[in-house]
Structure 1
C-alpha cells in the first residue's frame, strides 16, 4: 500500500510524493519530502520574484497542524488557505450551504 501526495498550481503539477508502506507520514517526513519540493519548485521561485503570494491548502490532519510544520511554513513564507475561502473559490453555493 502507498499514499500519493500531489500538489498542483495553475501551470500544472508542482510536487509529487509517494509514501510507501511501512513508512508513516509525520511532520518531519512532510517537511523533508513534500514541502521541500514545493519550496524548490519553479512556481514558488516565480512567486517570490514577482512578489506574489504563494499559498497551499491542507486538511486538518495532526501532521499538517503540527508546530514543526507550522514553524516551517512561517520560516519559508508559505501561506495556508483558510478552508472556507477554498470552498468559496471552488463553488460559492457550497460555502453558502455549509454556512447555514
Structure 2
C-alpha cells in the first residue's frame, strides 16, 4: 500500500518482469556487463526478472564475450520490445 497524490491509500502495481530496452545501447564493456549482472541479481532479490530487448549484434557479441550468458538465459534476450511483450503475453495466456 502507498499514499497517492490525494493522500488516499492505493495498491502498488506488482512488477514481475522488467524489459530492458537496449536500442540505444551501442557498446558494453566488461564493467558494463558486470554492472548489468549486479543489477539483475539485485532485482531478483525482490522476485523480479529482467529480460533484454533490441540488443545490437555488437552488444550481443560483447555480452557473449564477457560471459553474460553464463548466468542469464539467452532465450530472455529478444529481437525487439514488441517480441518480448508478445512472448510474455503468450506465456501468460498459457498459464491461465
What TM-score, normalized to structure 1?
0.39
Q: Larger C-alpha radius of gyration, 1 or 2?
A: 2
What TM-score, normalized to structure 2?
0.40
> Higher helix proportion, which one?
1
> Higher strand proportion, which one?
1
